[in-house]
Amino acid sequence: MKIPLMNYGDFRAEDYFREKKALIGAGRCGGKAKGIAYAKCALEGSSLEDIVSFPDLTIVLSTELFDEHISRSGLDNPFQDENWERASGAVYETLFPPPVKFELESVLELFDELGAPPLAIRSSSLLEDSISLAFAGKYQTCFSPNIGSRSERYDMLEKAVRTVFASVFNPSARAYREKHGLLGQKESMAVIVQSVAGRRHGSCYYPELAGTLFSRVFRRPNPRIKKEDGLMRICFGLGTRSVDRCAARTFYLTNPSLRPEGSLPSQIAEESQEFFDYIDTEHGVFLTGALPMFYRFLMKEHKNFGVYVQLYGDDFLYSTMADPEVPTRPIFSFPELHIRERALFDSSKALLKHMEETTGFPVDIEFSYETAPKKKLSVIQMRPLAAYEELGKIELPEVPNEKIIFKGDRMVSNGMLENVTHIVYVDPSLYKNNWDPSGAARAVGEANKRLAGTKYILAGPGRWGSRNPALGAPVRYDEICNCGVLVEISVPELNFSPELSFGTHFFLDMDSDGILYLPVFSKQGGNKYNKEWLDTASHATGGHPAVRIYEGNFSAYLDGEDESGIIILS
């Protein structure tokens, strides 16, 4: 029986998964499950049906299991509990009763019929169904290698499901709900269990390519790029690096040769992926591999290796077939992907157009792509792309140069914020020389809490929220959620650089929250980093030697159309 396709808001994913005998429990399916069910139905009978595939098996544990689990945890009202650690811990430590264990055992049996592939256990909360809010990366996704004895594989699955349940109470999720007036609202979590996209390469399991697709582009490096053009952010291996603040390749689908980071070899090398994620099926762990260590192995495994990889040395890029006389290092720069894999780009553009026309709103799609044994584009999930409202043309005021604290000339967002009372600044040298990244991040979080309601300006080196603290302060969403403008400063001598790509969970949060963004490339024309003012102006120190808090009257003017932005002393 074909489930009738209707308005996205009225679509009942429960009917779809129940008809497929892929729903456990009598509750709801949540946002992510709804997205993938809708996408499947939307493609049935279309010209894309034979081009686009989906995970081999998707099972949904409905919200009924979560609600019953919360009741068994002994918590009176966990959604009002200020002690999120207690709530999260109690939910994780509560074990499943025999009826639920039986259902999870049946899930394992279904995947056994597919050869027991590694499993992805994803959140699918009711709030993730929102069209206006991103909820990107707020809840947990877990991987199970699904190896070992039956009892070992069951333990992996149960712990993963309990981890996803407990993530409802993590600080970033709570802060996001609070910022959008949802903290007191009861949340309910369904869970998706999917076979992980990809295949085995020796003892490594991963998709050849994975990434995200967006039907709208809200941060454009060039006037030639229009909002409607669509964007792809892609990486080699598991798609975790395409949504985190890690290096990955960004393609604008109508201008795939245009790089937001610039076209110089040094710029390309700085922003290119050098590590990839995979599941080790021998030892049953999620690992990160360094390209130099896997170079010969990957060259043997992938006939398209030269389409993905280049050698960088002496400020020059070489083909993998070359034999340079200078020392080089390999990078995933994807120099010819848009030329050699036209099918991927054509299918992506057609898929985005079809899904946006069918749903009636912009969409965000996670996907994987294999070139062998045959070309295969697989949709892992589809969800609404949270709306981003830009102001009209912003005029930058003429001010004396000494009044400019920060100035940038690329990938700025569009908007203005006047009469801001505070700047929170992380000094790059002090961050490096007083090495305590988590301490610096927690200090920023304390300032963020104290300045709630001020829409303060937050500035610091490199990439805010990076999983690698050497690239920038590893802050969580709840530690920066109250800022109104985010400044990322390039400091080449300390190896700090902004991350310009739209498409990470981090940027989706910023856009849905209306946080303005200004990258500053110090020592480059069209940019200004007024370190003299920052070093001499009166300030308070907050919790870490690198964290400074300035009080005054500041304004931000960001012209996204002309790619120019300034933050000034008003």
> Which pLDDT tens digit goes with each residue over 162-179?
999 998 888 777 777 777
Q: Which two tokens stand for residue 321?
A: 């077939």
Burial of 280 (0-12, 13-18, 19+ CB in 10 A): middle
What percent of the chain clears pLDDT 90, i.e. is strictly above it?
Answer: 70
Q: Are 450 and 148 in contact (CB under 8 A)?
A: no
As beta bridge partners, residue 119 has 144, 195
Q: What is the DSSP string of 48-102?
A: TTTTEE--S-EEEE-HHHHHHHHHHTT-S-GGG-S-HHHHHHHHHHPPPPHHHHH
Q: Which two tokens stand for residue 533?
A: 């003012």
Stretch 552-565: mean pLDDT: 91
Stretch 12-20: mean pLDDT: 94
Q: Are 123 and 161 in contact (CB under 8 A)?
A: no
- State the amino acid at position 404 in one-letter form: I
Question: 104-118, 182-196, 247-261: which has the minimum mean pLDDT?
Answer: 182-196
Q: What is the pTM of this model?
A: 0.87
The whole-number pLDDT of residue 560 equals: 81
Give the pLDDT band of residue 398 (cuts 50, 70, 90): very high
The whole-number pLDDT of residue 110 equals: 95
Q: Are 544 and 474 in contact (CB under 8 A)?
A: no
What percent of the chain clears pLDDT 70, i.e. is strictly above it?
Answer: 93
Give the pLDDT band of residue 138 (cuts 50, 70, 90): confident
More confident residue, 372 or 137: 372
**Other C-beta atoms within 10 Å of 375: how many?**
13
More confident residue, 9 or 421: 421
Alpha-carbon span 163 to 501, nearest angstrom: 30
Q: Nearest to residue 513, comparing CAs of 141, 35, 178, 123?
A: 178
H or E segment to which residue 432 belongs: helix 428-433
More confident residue, 225 or 400: 400
Model confidence at 132: pLDDT above 70: no
Stretch 413-430: mean pLDDT: 95
Alpha-carbon span 351 to 341, nearest angstrom: 16
The whole-number pLDDT of residue 186 equals: 75
The whole-number pLDDT of residue 173 equals: 76
Helix (H, G, I), strand (E, B) or coil at 293: helix
Sign of CA dihedral 93, 99, 104, 108: positive
All domains of the chain, ordered by start, with CATH?
8-196 (3.30.1490.20), 204-340 (3.30.470), 401-569 (3.50.30)
The whole-number pLDDT of residue 358 equals: 93
Give the pLDDT band of residue 254 (cuts 50, 70, 90): very high
Alpha-carbon span 515 to 386, nearest angstrom: 13
As beta bridge partners, residue 205 has 200, 279
Q: Which two tokens stand for residue 387?
A: 């709306």
Q: What is the mean pLDDT of the chain?
A: 90
The whole-number pLDDT of residue 42 equals: 94
Alpha-carbon span 200 to 159, nearest angstrom: 24
pLDDT in tens, 285-321: 999 999 999 999 999 999 999 999 999 999 999 999 9
The answer for 112, left when phi > 0, alpha when psi is -120 to 50, beta otherwise, is alpha
The whole-number pLDDT of residue 112 equals: 94
Q: Are 242 and 233 in contact (CB under 8 A)?
A: yes
The whole-number pLDDT of residue 1 equals: 46
- As a residue count, the chain comes to 570
Stretch 473-500: mean pLDDT: 90
**Other C-beta atoms within 10 Å of 350: how many?**
15
Model confidence at 2: pLDDT above 70: no
Give the pLDDT band of residue 242 (cuts 50, 70, 90): confident
H or E segment to which residue 24 belongs: strand 23-24
Stretch 473-485: mean pLDDT: 91
Give 109's Cβ-side CA count (13 Å radius): 7
Residue given tokens 């689908």 in the structure block: 253
Q: Virtual CA dihedral for 490, 493, 495, 497, nearest 10 degrees?
A: 10
Model confidence at 207: pLDDT above 60: yes
The whole-number pLDDT of residue 33 equals: 95
pLDDT in tens, 338-390: 999 999 999 999 999 999 999 998 999 999 999 988 899 999 999 888 655 56
Alpha-carbon span 246 to 233, nearest angstrom: 11
Q: Nearest to residue 412, comparing CAs of 495, 547, 510?
A: 510
Max Cα distance, the chain (Å): 72
**Other C-beta atoms within 10 Å of 419: how many?**
9
Q: Nearest to residue 519, comparing CAs of 224, 257, 219?
A: 219
- State the amino acid at position 66 in one-letter form: F
Residue given tokens 């024309």 in the structure block: 525
State the Rg of the chain over Cα: 24
The whole-number pLDDT of residue 465 equals: 86
Q: Which two tokens stand for residue 8?
A: 């996205």
